[in-house]
Amino acid sequence: MARMEKAKKVNRPRVVVVGGGFSGLAVVHALRKTEAEVVLVDRQNHHLFQPLLYQVATAALSPGNIAAPIRRIFSRQDNCSVIMSEVTDVDLEGRRVTLPDRTLPYDYLVLAAGVRTNYFGNPGWVEFAPGLKTIDEAIAVRGRFLLAFEQAELEGDLEARQAVLTFAIVGAGPTGVEMAGAMAEISRQTLRRDYRHFDPQSARVILIDFADRVLPTFPPDLSRRAHRDLESLGVEVRLDTRVIDVGPGGLTVARGGDEQCIAAGNIIWAAGVRAVDLAERVGTPTDSAGRLEVGDDLTVPGHPEVFVAGDLAHRIDPALGRPVPGVAPAAMQMGRFVGRTLAAELQAKAAGSPVPARPAFVYREKGDLATIGRNRAVANIRGLRFGGVFAFLLWAFVHVLFLVDFRRKFSTFLEWIWMYFFYERGVRLITGEGRTPRPKRPGHDDSVTIRPDRTYRGS
Amino acid sequence: MARMEKAKKVNRPRVVVVGGGFSGLAVVHALRKTEAEVVLVDRQNHHLFQPLLYQVATAALSPGNIAAPIRRIFSRQDNCSVIMSEVTDVDLEGRRVTLPDRTLPYDYLVLAAGVRTNYFGNPGWVEFAPGLKTIDEAIAVRGRFLLAFEQAELEGDLEARQAVLTFAIVGAGPTGVEMAGAMAEISRQTLRRDYRHFDPQSARVILIDFADRVLPTFPPDLSRRAHRDLESLGVEVRLDTRVIDVGPGGLTVARGGDEQCIAAGNIIWAAGVRAVDLAERVGTPTDSAGRLEVGDDLTVPGHPEVFVAGDLAHRIDPALGRPVPGVAPAAMQMGRFVGRTLAAELQAKAAGSPVPARPAFVYREKGDLATIGRNRAVANIRGLRFGGVFAFLLWAFVHVLFLVDFRRKFSTFLEWIWMYFFYERGVRLITGEGRTPRPKRPGHDDSVTIRPDRTYRGS
């Protein structure tokens, strides 16, 4: 009660932070010693460690290993209150955001609401090719992936069984590569002894990208290494390949002039991201993916009180000559930058000193890591490029290191040790929406739209 | 492949086991050295350690801690195949069971499909008062419980906030007592510092039962002890109280001639069980809860090839003079009994020796344990009755001991250690169906049907 009264006693500047991802948390944390009243709004009650979400989708980790209640993280930061709600609109002139049941005035606004899966103008594809952004999506992907093997055990028709056991992953960035590697490992190793009527190794994992190499943001030699690693796990890699259609029975792809249908029981969409819908309500310039363009101080043009941080920001880095990438370290850096900028201004104002000039955000590249599977990973750390066991261990170390708290670091570490030594994944559960197979359009005849891919014989 | 061919080579007797709970697993395990072809059918892909499901619903454990894929459990038992499907009908004369897409002939049938939540003729109540039988239900209960506190943080009207923060648990058996104790602990301890606009300790947890004491299957002195423990945690215990109606705004209860409406945002139904629907398709005599009556050898009358084990069996124990209780140890014992009986017969037949006479099932009572909260539990072990810390530790020890495998024992043990020393629950996530508040009937005006309970002032 004491805390609540204290919170109301003065007319403190209010900072509204939209989004409890890496950058939102960093902003709030940096404001902990200020007099600001901080309000963090998120649609979920939990912060999600996105880089490991694919491990929930592939039965290695539980949601509880990688997600933590936001209000717990700030339970001892008395100047922060957390609201589980959704910001549906922003009124820049009136300096307030709209929630379903109220408006929330602000003195400073930090938009850190991130991105969502991008279907590039085909919103209907979401039904057949889920993305991987929330825990519920990961649980559904996990369930449908495992359900495919259960269906295969009961399926007598060989062609139908092969279609059920075909997993197409669209997008060969880190998430797509990690998903493909994990799905191949599960079918080749984890499930090896578990079925009686078919061989789980007959599952096909197909990784599709329009680019000419996997991990296109990595140096070409690491792309080649990752490509080799994927193929050694049994993943079919299809590059220079565009997805033309996605439907209930599979997908149609084109390479050069050749179109081909692939009968696939499961499709995962990891092909791109787009700003959350809120971004277009702001009304300031955006890039082609809807991200908000920001200046050197990460504010939108004409509104020095409105910051954008994390994946939602489109910021051309002067040193890189291209946008700051949408990766966790960049989001953390932006959040910290915004929080510190605000803290300095608020402290100056409170002390009656002149407000310092805004610094410019400088992105420090930490390097890139992607894992393909057991002992298989690639790393590009400040020009040092390597793969294999050492990159794999570095990847695991860094990811455990950045997990929210000790409890989650420890439990994730243990799950990984277990998986590494016993080749078993601890969370092979079919629950949630994953209990129902991928929806089929009613009355839709698979065999007409999607011709089973009889010609393809592996790469 | 070798395994699959071996499985087909001879005309082996087929044992179909319906249900992968405690008894189903015990049956399959006992048949591991026989020549039988064992087919285990379950609607879920996982065995669920039911006694700890309430800990998933109260954010202490992840589903992965207490559920394990059934086919993994038997991956090295070559004579067992596992089917994830549902048995919808039984043809005793034709000796086959019906699945949605096929029929499955059997030589021996073991029905171990268990029970479901019993709404005593009010099936519509399930919408407003979920039971606790599956992982998805537990996730939904957990989400809605935590969501209530999120809603309270945003609710300015005091009366509406109190209704949101009122949790009614119907049924004061072990599950209801454990749920009530955990919910009270969460609101008094775990969430203590996490909200800014209300005090989580103002949450009301009400435990309702028609019986005149909590834990009615325990000796009266332990009931009194549990009652005291519940009240010391802040649970309101209402005995001799019947639930008359359940609706979107709360529930109506009656004690003696007095009716009262309780505005409650969350209702949990732990008031009773009823046999799964499959039981009535069998066509042999059942008790009032639909359980199948069985003879000394746990078979249904007239069909020595059809066994019933676990909660689905109604077996009057000669020593007790009442039915064998629906608890995990009884299910394990029945499963083991059925499996061993079958194994002996199959081995005798294979050896050409005379088939031994069927033994009679004898239930060995192991005792009863129920936990109310931290350091609070009651135990009744062969006449030895005690409560407090020692009962609590014994409860924890026994439950970890019986968890499926070492991995789950170890991870659950760690979660408990953490919870015990840090007063924190690791899985405070609002996901799945728990993201949506308990459904309200469209156009239904809460204030008319359910009058807020203005008269009640605690016990």
Q: Closest by alpha carbon to B7, among B103, B77, B78, B89? A: B78
Q: What angle do CA B83, B86, B90 make, to 5 degrees?
A: 110
How many inter-chain contacts (A to B, CB under 8 Å) are there? 137
Q: Residue A105: how many CB atoms within 10 A of its CB?
A: 12
HSE, CB side, 13 Å, CA atoms: give it for residue B99: 19
Whole-angstrom distance, CA of residue B336 vs CA of residue A52: 41
The answer to whether the beta carbons of residues B152 and A84 sit under 8 Å apart is no
pLDDT band for position B6 (cuts 50, 70, 90): very low
**Phi, psi at B87, each rounded to 5°:** -85, 120
Which of B 141-160 lie inside 8 A of A, CB atoms? 146-147, 150, 153-154
With residues binned 3-state (H G I as helix, E B as strand, rest as coil), the percentages for chain A, rounded to 5, are 35, 25, 40
Look at residues A246, A225, A273 and name the one whose alpha carbon lies nearest to residue A168.
A246
Q: How many angstroms separate the CA atoms of A39 and A21, rounded?
A: 14
pLDDT in tens, B247-275: 999 999 999 989 999 999 999 999 989 99
Q: Is the Cβ pair A154, B83 closer than 8 Å? A: yes
User: Do the beta carbons of residue A134 and residue A147 sit within 8 Å?
Assistant: no
Q: Which amino acid is at A371?
A: T
Whether residue A162 contacts residue A204, with contact meaning beta carbons closer than 8 Å, is answered with yes
Q: Is the pLDDT of residue B159 over 60?
A: yes
**Is-contact A331 A21, C-beta < 8 A?**
yes
The whole-number pLDDT of residue B407 equals: 84
Strand spans (E) along B309-442: 313-314, 316-317, 322-323, 368-373, 376-381, 384-387
Strand, helix or coil for residue A238? strand
Between residues A426 and B190, which one has the greater pLDDT?
A: B190
Query: pTM of the entire structure?
Result: 0.91
Cα dihedral A128, A131, A132, A133 in deg (nearest 10):
-130
Question: What is the phi/psi pair of residue B198, to 5°?
Answer: -160, 165
Q: How large a percentage of chain B has pLDDT more than 90?
A: 82
Structure tokens at A270: 């990891």
Which chain B residue lies closest to A406 (C-alpha atoms)? B418
| Residues whose CB falls within 8 Å of the CB of residue B443, separated by 6 or more in sequence, listed in order | none
With left for phi above 0 and alpha for psi between -120 and 50, is residue A240 left, alpha or beta? left
Inter-chain CB proximity A411 and B407 less than 8 Å:
no
Residue A72 contacts B where some CB pair is shorter than 8 Å: yes
pLDDT tens digits, one per residue of B322-331:
999 999 999 9
The pLDDT score that the predictor gives to residue A436 is 78
Q: Testing the interface with B: which of A44, A194, A406 to mutate, by most B Cβ within 10 A?
A: A194
d(CA A441, CA B211): 51
Question: What pLDDT does A93 receive?
Answer: 97
Q: Does the distance separating the beta carbons of B427 and A62 come in below 8 Å?
A: yes
Residues contacting residue B241 through CB under 8 Å, at least 6 positions apart: B208, B209, B210, B253, B254, B255
Dist CA A142 CA B173 (whole Å) = 35
| Position B448 pLDDT exceeds 70 | no
Q: Measure CB to CB from residue A72 to each of B4, B65, B194 and give the nearest one.
A: B194
A347: buried, middle or exposed (CB in 10 Å: 19+, 13-18, 0-12)? Answer: middle
DSSP state of B51: G
The dihedral built from the CA positions of residue B87, B91, B96 and B100, taken in this order, carries a sign that is: negative
Task: Please name which of B40, B38, B37 lies closest in space to residue B12, comparing C-alpha atoms.
Answer: B37
Q: What's the rounded mean pLDDT across residues A416-442?
A: 81
Which residues of chain B lie closer than 8 angstroms to A77, CB-CB?
A: none
What type of residue sits at position B50? Q
Residues with Cβ within 8 Å of residue A156, at least 6 apart in sequence: none
User: Which of B75, B150, B411 is closest, CB to CB, to A45?
Assistant: B150
Q: Å from A417 to nearest chain B CA?
A: 11
Give the pair of three-digit tokens for residue B328: 């995990």
Mean model confidence pLDDT for chain A:
91
Average pLDDT, chain B: 91
State the CB neighbour count (10 A cutoff) for residue A219: 14
Percent above pLDDT 70 for chain B: 93
For the beta sheet containing B303-308, the strands, ordered from the edge strand earlier in sequence to the opposite edge, are: B80-84, B37-42, B14-18, B108-111, B303-308, B299-300
Q: Coil, strand or helix: which one is B120?
A: coil
Confidence of residue B446 (pLDDT cuts 50, 70, 90): very low
CA–CA dist B143, B146 (Å, integer): 5
* CA dist A156 → A160, B43, B44, B101, B128 (Å): 8, 20, 21, 11, 42
Cβ atoms within 10 Å of B179's Cβ, excluding its own: 26
Report CB contact under 8 Å: B46, A1: no
Mean pLDDT of A256-283: 95
Confidence of residue B10 (pLDDT cuts 50, 70, 90): low
Model confidence over B97-127: pLDDT tens digits?
999 999 999 999 999 999 999 999 999 999 9
Separation between Cα atoms, residue A110 and residue A104, nearest integer Å:
13
Q: Per-residue pLDDT tens for B42-68?
A: 999 999 999 999 999 999 999 999 999
Q: Which of B37, B178, B236, B415 is catalytic?
A: B178
Q: How confident is the model at residue B155 (pLDDT cuts 50, 70, 90)?
A: very high
CB atoms within 10 A of CB B336: 19
Examine the predicted complex and report whether its ipTM is higher than 0.95. Answer: no
Q: What is the pLDDT of residues B214-227, one digit of tens each?
A: 999 999 999 999 99
**Which residues sit opposite B354 in a β-bridge?**
none
Q: Is residue B157 exposed (0-12), middle (13-18) or buried (19+ Cβ within 10 Å)?
A: exposed
Question: Please, which pLDDT band fits residue B454 given cuts at 50, 70 and 90?
Answer: very low
Residue B442 is predicted with a pLDDT of 47
Tokens of B365: 């009572």
Measuring CA to CA, how many Å separate A101 from each of A18, A19, A194, B440?
A: 16, 18, 51, 18
Q: Report the pLDDT value the prediction gives residue A320, as an integer from 0 to 100.
A: 85
- Using a CB-CB cut-off of 8 Å, the residues of chain A touching B200 are none
First-residue to last-residue Cα distance in chain A = 66
How many angstroms separate the CA atoms of A177 and A395, rounded?
Answer: 14
Give the per-residue pLDDT at A439.
64
| Burial bucket for residue A1 (CB in 10 Å: 0-12, 13-18, 19+) | exposed
Q: What is the pLDDT of residues A352-395, one digit of tens each?
A: 999 999 999 999 998 999 999 999 999 999 889 999 999 999 99
| Confidence check: pLDDT of B151 > 70 | yes
* Contact (Cβ atoms closer than 8 angstroms) between residue B185 and residue B208: no
Cβ(B320)–Cβ(B363) below 8 Å: yes
pLDDT higher than threshold 80 for residue A305: yes
Please report the DSSP string for B268-322 in residue order: EE-S-EEE-THHHHH-S-B-TT-PEE--TTSEETTEEEEEE-GGGEE-EETTTTE
- Minimal Cα distance from B100: which residue of A? A154
> B449: closest CA among B263, B323, B320, B297?
B263
Could you tell me if A110 and A307 are in contact, meaning their C-beta atoms sit under 8 angstroms apart?
Answer: yes
Report how many helices (DSSP H) and strands (DSSP E) chain A contains, helices first: 14, 27
Confidence of residue A8 (pLDDT cuts 50, 70, 90): very low
- pLDDT tens, A21-49? 999 999 999 999 999 999 999 999 999 99
Cβ <8 Å between B414 and A411: yes
Say yes or no for a CB contact (<8 Å) between A197 and B4. yes
Hey, are the CB atoms on B72 and A428 less than 8 Å from each other? yes
Report residue A448's pLDDT band, with 50, 70 and 90 as the boundaries.
very low
User: Rounded CA gap, B433 and B426, in Å?
Assistant: 19
Model confidence at B451: pLDDT above 70:
no
- The torsion angles phi and psi of A242, rounded to 5 degrees, stand at -105, 140
Q: CA A272, A207, A262, A436 torsion: positive or negative?
A: negative
B259: three-class secondary structure by DSSP: strand
